[in-house]
Amino acid sequence: MTPPAKPILTLLRLGACAVALAGPAAATDLAEPLDNILPRDKDEAARVAMVTRPTQDFSAPEKFEQNPAGAATTRARSDADAFSQSSGNMTFERELDFKVGNGLFKKIWVSAPSSTLASDGLGPLYNARACQRCHLKDGRGHPPEPGAPDNVSIFLRISVPAHGGAPLSDIEAFLQSRGETPARTRPDPVYGGQLQDFSLPGLPAEYRLGVTWQEVEVPMNGETAHLRRPDWEALELGYGPLADGAMLSPRVAPQMIGLGLLEAIPTEDILAHADPEDRDGDGISGRAQIVWSFEKGAPMLGRFGWKAGAPSVREQSAAAFAGDIGISTPIFRAPSGDCTTAQALCIAAPDGSDPDTGAEIDATGLDLVTFYSRNLAVPERRYVDAQDVLRGKRIFSEANCTGCHVPKFVTNRLDGQPEQSFQLIWPYTDLLLHDMGEGLADNRPEGRASGTEWKTPPLWGIGLTPQVNGHSYYLHDGRARSLLEAVLWHGGEAAAARDHVVALEPEDRAALIAFLESL
């Protein structure tokens, strides 16, 4: 087992020079995701900047690189439970909360009324009966497969353009106050914000997900690849046609590891990588997603979801309870989940709300699920010193993949969250929005994100996907059947990096994939 990383403060004291943080200062009008942040002084910020500088030496692994989550890293397992372990630096006393949260994450919800009062309230419309049914083994979902009985772990988001003088949402009003004019959208007036493919007895489901695939040949230097282009459809609509202009976006459930560490990255460190005007001329112009926090009643930096539509692990968990399972929480209190007033039978169906809390899962339960989700550990790196992996890491840098997949950060100092506090982490993401081109476009705006923009997903643990989930499907809709296919789908701001990979010699391309598989 690889020993845990040394305390980050020791590492930051190495070296004599101080390097100032690059980029803009933190936006004072954006709330942080956590309330328990301890201040970082100027000297410490300079040491952090020194440690997180991109490396120029690819002859050997960097210090502590084998521990991508710092001291929270866990041992790399060889079975399907590799993503289901608790933070490596968690105390025995806190393990109980993790295990109880795991139980709630796996809980099978049932319809109300039920004798199992703590488990009723499912639906009435839903995509899954448990969190684990979508986040399979705490890993990735997948698109429909031939012969599969259902489409659990993928669904369609839906929205329609907002025309005329429709009232502004809080986030639209905030963005307009900053001089921005984001595309204004609303949930479908009948189907809501996402389509549910399951329902309780006596109610029709909203749809059945359909997809057809078209093979696309991609010539490369010395090799040929084949991509599959999906055409997604909402079939067998249970409540009439979709509204005019309805925009659909497929979303596969992402892996769960490292979420608490991503939440703990300082906002200003993320914003330092934003370059919306591409002032450095590298063709990459990431920008921050800004979302409205229903919990804090304030604008926040979006971090979670394929378009960074949620600001915190707790709010993302509550939104998933509401939209995916139809379970109300102290944040989203509608007992009928995503049902709309146009679905009268759904609204009128019995619910499992507790008369004391007014929710189907109370604040304690939501906190336990949040604790579990924050502490699903990132496994240690494998083969970090292998020559083909180091060669692939150099190619990854030369192709400027690191322009979006930023290798490392140092998390905030946190009071009461020792697992996430002040860790050197290697998530390979900037958590910013990037234009990925028409090939990956869903043509559905979300907040500041356009129909071609997506958040840079973290890459840590990506090489363990086949081991954990039994498949190798990647990207927001699972269209890529390999890591190479995922790279070849990159366009827009990532087109230059993709073309660099296409032009590589086959052995260099193989080294790049070996590096990605080691993460």
Residue given tokens 């078209």 in the structure block: 214
For residue 121, pLDDT over 60 is answered with yes
Question: Which of 116-130, 134-148, 406-420, 493-507 is predicted with the least confidence, judged by mean pLDDT?
Answer: 134-148
Question: Which of 19-33, 101-115, 352-366 is predicted with the least confidence, judged by mean pLDDT?
Answer: 19-33
Distance between CA 495 and CA 437 in Å, rounded?
8
Answer yes or no: are the C-beta atoms of 200 and 351 closer than 8 Å: no
Q: Enter the CATH code of domain 8-25+38-91+376-518.
A: 1.10.760
Q: What pLDDT was estimated at residue 22?
A: 32
Q: What pLDDT was estimated at residue 17?
A: 28
Segment 307-325 shows an average pLDDT of 98
In the DSSP assignment, the letter for residue 420 is T
What are the residues whose beta carbons fall under 8 Å from the beta carbon of 322, sequence distance 6 or more?
Answer: 328, 329, 332, 334, 337, 338
- Using a pLDDT cut of 70, give the percent of the chain over it: 94
What residue segments make up the domains of the chain, in order of their start?
Answer: 8-25+38-91+376-518
Q: Is 463 helix (H, G, I), strand (E, B) or coil?
A: helix
Mean pLDDT, rounded, of the chain = 92
State pTM to two decimals.
0.93
Distance between CA 469 and CA 482 in Å, rounded?
13
Q: Is 224 helix (H, G, I), strand (E, B) or coil?
A: strand
Q: What pLDDT was estimated at residue 148?
A: 64
pLDDT digits (tens, 9 = 90+) for 198-228: 999 999 999 999 999 999 999 999 999 999 9
Of 445, 361, 413, nearest to 182 by C-alpha is 445
End-to-end CA distance of the chain: 17
